[in-house]
Amino acid sequence: MLNMKLTIALLGLLGISCGTNAFASVIPFAGTGASGTINPSSLAWTLTPNSDTVSILRGVSVWGTPGLGAGDDTWPAATDPAVEFSITFTDLPNGVTIDQSPDPSPPEFNDFTRDHNANDTVIWTPTYTGGNTVTFDAPTGYTLTPGTQFYINIAFAGGTVNAVDFTGDFVTTEVLGGEVPEPGSLLLVGLGLISTAIFARKRLAGRS
């Protein structure tokens, strides 16, 4: 009976460890016009109506944070690590959509749609919904941590854009009590504890 109680208790603790060490939260933002700031901590954004004004590029319009050719933003201190960025443009001119062309040279300066972490050249994966929404997801096991430099460029196709209206959000993950252990590591720890409990039970039974 003691053996069964110990096993159930240890499995319960293991389940708690697996399920409550981290949770996601959402940081919403919105903007309008040709430039401004978004949450968190007033990250800068700029709309470049024609990328030819920045460099000899394609001549397309680009929404960016901090802006095409403007360097990098820095994920702010005391902010949970980000794992996703999503934005929807709500009033694009007729015929204009987000440019979904594959980025031909992700690590290099260009005006294609992308989310790029400058410190470590990590490229996030875009997913498009219709012609006016893009969601970038961090690679598996990666987060945008405080102090990391990054930029986001979103190019448009089908015409130029002089002003935008948009809503969106960052999804972050908060870790409680330190790093989240790998599930395999937690399983090994749990099995080890259960084995120890069984061994102790047998020793107690042998003495009775």
- pLDDT value at position 22? 61
Domain ranges of the chain: 23-175
Please provide the average confidence, as pLDDT, over all residues in the chain. 83
Q: Check the CA dihedral 108-114-117-121 and report its sign.
A: negative
In this prediction, residue 2 has a pLDDT band, given cuts at 50, 70 and 90, of very low
- pLDDT value at position 116? 95
3-state secondary structure of 17: helix
The token pair at 175 is 């870790």
Residue 6 CA to residue 98 CA, distance in Å, equals 57
In this prediction, residue 192 has a pLDDT band, given cuts at 50, 70 and 90, of low
Q: Is the pLDDT of residue 10 over 70?
A: no
Nearest to 168 by CA among 132, 144, 207, 120: 132
In this prediction, residue 193 has a pLDDT band, given cuts at 50, 70 and 90, of very low
* Single-letter residue type at 114: R
- pLDDT value at position 185? 44
- For residue 138, the Cα-to-chain-centroid distance in whole angstroms is 5
Region of poorest pLDDT, from 48-52, 74-78, 92-96, 195-199 = 195-199
In this prediction, residue 175 has a pLDDT band, given cuts at 50, 70 and 90, of low
Residue 152 has a CB neighbour count (10 Å cut-off) of: 21
pTM of the model: 0.74
| Model confidence pLDDT, tens digit, residues 65-105 | 999 999 999 999 999 999 999 999 999 999 999 999 999 98
- pLDDT value at position 26? 98
Q: Is the pLDDT of residue 41 over 90?
A: yes
Specify which residues 5 forms β-bridges with.
none
Q: Is the pLDDT of residue 194 over 70?
A: no
Q: What is the largest CA-CA distance in the chain?
A: 87
Class of domain 23-175: mainly beta
